[in-house]
A and B are shown apart, each in its own frame.
Chain A
């Protein structure tokens, strides 16, 4: 081992890895509607995965955020009083603390949740802003000299909602700026916005085809720290489509017109911007019109 590599290993050993799991607990997700048992299974996998992360290094830290249809809450850690703990079967206390707290908190949230009359979207982007606030606080408080690597893992089976586009983008750019990796584990559908986010922040996107093997997928793809992922054989990155969709018809376009004031995208030229009501100076299309008129005159 040469000196550079040795230094890198030493750095990796002393650094703190923070993993924030954003778990979608919305009951309108496809897999929950099929069978409520599935949510329990996903939760068990998440807890086991979280504990596996804590097990890797003594300094590692974990946070779990639940994103439900009515609110976003921290499942672990919870400020204030700790859950009462007794050692069970010789299990390391920190692990049973994670398990107990997460289950108890999620239980409270689900019991207090308002009844859901119709399926509604999960505000995942909002939950990610909360995760970023939490990470930025921990990063501010890191002791001098110590390094902290943070990442966010989103586990969701929801459809993504275009109304959260702006928040998602703000989240991705903030994460990119702070060097936070965003990973996504999609349980149901391919999510193009989160795919873009993973690409922007160098994270990993994975669509799980079989829910039964969730823990295995998690341990295989998302457990290794991002710094050592290039040494592993992981699923190839999907081709991300970065085309903009126009504001007028919501279609993906190759060539479009962009308003110089508010940067709205249109697929056709229009004399007034529908978003900021700016009136444009007409460039190209006008000179063509008089020509046509002339032709008509001549014919007449």
Chain B
């Protein structure tokens, strides 16, 4: 483990020089702090987005285990109301966000209780199951120490049998500073490295050497939280799919696209039950005419995506796949410029406006504006964030026909054209396309 020092370039806070945080705040010409504060807010808003690295190959089909520490140390009230309750609350947000962003992925939860690991939920693709299980965890008695090794072993056992084209990950949330393991944990870590399972750890107390070592070896991320907001950021950073692991095998996966059954003219579809609720005694199945039928074996499901229980085919709908495309074709970051560079509109009394939301730009709040290098339009900071974090489509590039058209042609001349037939599913904005063909 001597190589740690070379690999880890990060300095600790106490090793850096004395920071003069107040020097960042400067008075403007009128002796006011408004502009300085507005600037700080802007910078903070943009920070997260700039950090997002561009990735070409991602592990889009994820199998993720969340390992939650349920030991005595989770009852500490430094995160309000307690570490455990705060974790569960944030996990609820995480799970919804995870399935929203990764619709064809699966998730499972493992709890570390009194030196033992207990699987709370199996790997499944439905958020409902997990949210229900999390509710149950809130009343668990917190005693003794956790065992990191047992938790990892249990996740490993399940992830081993997952098909190799999927990205396999473990996220551990540790409250305790100690772990009580049956044998040498290095054996488990070596096994995880061999399988190419990415492990990330979020520590709620302080940095633990064995956890950092684990994340370094398995190419995961490590974070110790400062407060609940920081915890939230750390957790939500796990929502974005990681870069595809080298060990991951690429393959074509057979999938079914169910559609409502072709009915006989003028007749309603017959009443039937769905497979997902047939065995479920808590919520019995209802007879209805609507549903999604597996194209292979015709069994009915009320929700997608799902793996067919009778023939094992993965059933998805086209929008599910489309929902993940924005990870693959992100909008390039905009250029930051000062407000004076925005041209004034002659017909509207020389005002400057944001191309996206039509806001009239004015100092000091819009001191910085953002320019797309493709469509040459200017955006305010809020639109910049909205476009990159939520919308995932540049407004200018999609509304100005010349921009889209021109680069299309350029690309075709460049000989880098993706087969012409594929246009229907490809990104409409040309710049996204260019990235894609790299």
Decide: B296 and A200 in contact? CB cutoff 8 A: no
Quick check: is B133 within 8 A (CB to CB) of the other chain? no
Please, how many angstroms separate the alpha-carbon atoms of A72 and B402 in the complex?
Answer: 12
Quick check: is B419 within 8 A (CB to CB) of the other chain? yes
Quick check: is B337 within 8 A (CB to CB) of the other chain? no
Please, how many angstroms separate the alpha-carbon atoms of A259 and B324 in the complex?
Answer: 13
Decide: B422 and A274 in contact? CB cutoff 8 A: yes
Residue of A nearest to B293 (CB): A254
How many residues belonging to A are interface residues under a CB distance threshold of 8 Å?
Answer: 76
Chain B residues near A269 (CB, 8 Å)?
252
> A161-190, CB under 8 A of B: which get 1 and which 0?
011111101111110011000000000000
Chain B residues near A273 (CB, 8 Å)?
250, 252
Interface positions of B from 334 to 361, Cβ below 8 Å from A: 345, 347-349, 351, 353, 355-360
Decide: B100 and A276 in contact? CB cutoff 8 A: no
Please, how many angstroms separate the alpha-carbon atoms of A70 and B403 in the complex?
Answer: 11
Residue of A nearest to B257 (CB): A243
Decide: B425 and A247 in contact? CB cutoff 8 A: yes
Decide: A169 and B322 in contact? CB cutoff 8 A: yes
Given contacts A133-B357, A173-B323, contact A120 B425 (CB under 8 A): no
How many interface residues does chain B have, given as a range? 35 or more
Distance in Å from the Cβ of B277 to the closest Cβ of chain A? 21
> A108-135, CB under 8 A of B: which get 1 and which 0?
1000000000001101011101101110
Decide: A78 and B348 in contact? CB cutoff 8 A: yes
Interface positions of A from 203 to 251, Cβ below 8 Å from B: 239, 241-245, 247-250
Decide: A244 and B318 in contact? CB cutoff 8 A: yes
Please, how many angstroms separate the alpha-carbon atoms of A260 and B58 in the complex?
Answer: 9
Decide: A274 and B423 in contact? CB cutoff 8 A: no
Quick check: is B220 within 8 A (CB to CB) of the other chain? no
Distance in Å from the Cβ of B250 to the closest Cβ of chain A? 5
Quick check: is B291 within 8 A (CB to CB) of the other chain? no
Given contacts A169-B323, A258-B252, A260-B250, contact A129 B398 (CB under 8 A): yes
Given contacts A80-B360, A256-B255, contact A163 B423 (CB under 8 A): yes
> B95-129, CB under 8 A of A: which get 1 and which 0?
00000100000000000000000000000000000
Decide: A253 and B257 in contact? CB cutoff 8 A: yes
Given contacts A123-B398, A167-B428, contact A80 B321 (CB under 8 A): no
Chain B residues near A170 (CB, 8 Å)?
326, 391-393
Q: Given A134-B357, A244-B318, A262-B328, list of 8 further CB < 8 A pairs? A: A108-B347, A123-B404, A127-B399, A133-B386, A134-B358, A165-B428, A248-B421, A256-B255
Among the listed A164, A241, A250, which residue makes an inter-chain contact with B259, where contact means beta carbons less than 8 Å apart? Answer: A241
Please, how many angstroms separate the alpha-carbon atoms of A133 and B252 in the complex?
Answer: 37
Interface positions of B from 285 to 332, Cβ below 8 Å from A: 295-296, 313, 316-319, 321-326, 328-329
Given contacts A255-B255, A257-B254, contact A126 B419 (CB under 8 A): no
Quick check: is B424 within 8 A (CB to CB) of the other chain? yes
Please, how many angstroms separate the alpha-carbon atoms of A245 and B322 in the complex?
Answer: 12
Residue of A nearest to B402 (CB): A70
Quick check: is A136 within 8 A (CB to CB) of the other chain? yes
Chain B residues near A80 (CB, 8 Å)?
345, 348-349, 351, 360
Decide: A177 and B393 in contact? CB cutoff 8 A: no
Quick check: is A266 within 8 A (CB to CB) of the other chain? yes
Residue of A nearest to B383 (CB): A133
Please, how many angstroms separate the alpha-carbon atoms of A263 and B250 in the complex?
Answer: 11
Residue of A nearest to B390 (CB): A174
> B222-264, CB under 8 A of A: which get 1 and which 0?
0000000000000000000000100011111111111110000
Chain A residues near B425 (CB, 8 Å)?
162, 165-166, 245, 247, 264-265
Please, how many angstroms separate the alpha-carbon atoms of A166 and B425 in the complex?
Answer: 7
Please, how many angstroms separate the alpha-carbon atoms of A104 and B3 in the complex?
Answer: 71
Distance in Å from the Cβ of A107 to the closest Cβ of chain B? 13
Please, how many angstroms separate the alpha-carbon atoms of A257 and B252 in the complex?
Answer: 5
Quick check: is A287 within 8 A (CB to CB) of the other chain? no
Interface positions of B from 414 to 438, Cβ below 8 Å from A: 418-419, 421-429, 432, 436
Chain B residues near A167 (CB, 8 Å)?
393, 398, 427-429
Residue of B nearest to A200 (CB): B319
Please, how many angstroms separate the alpha-carbon atoms of A261 and B432 in the complex?
Answer: 17
Quick check: is B382 within 8 A (CB to CB) of the other chain? yes
Enumerate 7 A-B pairs (CB-CB under 8 Å) in ascending A order: A81-B349, A123-B399, A140-B382, A174-B391, A245-B425, A260-B166, A265-B425
Please, how many angstroms separate the alpha-carbon atoms of A273 and B244 in the complex?
Answer: 16
Decide: B421 and A126 in contact? CB cutoff 8 A: no
Distance in Å from the Cβ of A113 to the closest Cβ of chain B? 12
Distance in Å from the Cβ of B408 to the closest Cβ of chain A? 9
Quick check: is A49 within 8 A (CB to CB) of the other chain? no
Please, how many angstroms separate the alpha-carbon atoms of A79 and B425 in the complex?
Answer: 36
Chain A residues near B397 (CB, 8 Å)?
126
Quick check: is B407 within 8 A (CB to CB) of the other chain? no
Q: Flag the segment in A38-46, A144-152, A278-286 that touches B.
A: A278-286
Given contacts A255-B255, A260-B166, A264-B425, contact A79 B353 (CB under 8 A): yes
Distance in Å from the Cβ of A129 to the closest Cβ of chain B? 5
Quick check: is A275 within 8 A (CB to CB) of the other chain? yes
Quick check: is B60 within 8 A (CB to CB) of the other chain? yes
Distance in Å from the Cβ of B350 to the closest Cβ of chain A? 9
Quick check: is A196 within 8 A (CB to CB) of the other chain? yes
Decide: A165 and B424 in contact? CB cutoff 8 A: yes
Chain B residues near A162 (CB, 8 Å)?
423-425
Please, how many angstroms separate the alpha-carbon atoms of A262 and B317 in the complex?
Answer: 16
Distance in Å from the Cβ of B117 to the closest Cβ of chain A? 29
Residue of A nearest to B359 (CB): A137
Decide: B257 and A260 in contact? CB cutoff 8 A: no
Decide: A243 and B259 in contact? CB cutoff 8 A: yes
Decide: A136 and B386 in contact? CB cutoff 8 A: yes
Quick check: is A53 within 8 A (CB to CB) of the other chain? no
Quick check: is A56 within 8 A (CB to CB) of the other chain? no
The 4 closest A-B pairs by CB, nearest first: A126-B398, A126-B399, A133-B356, A80-B348
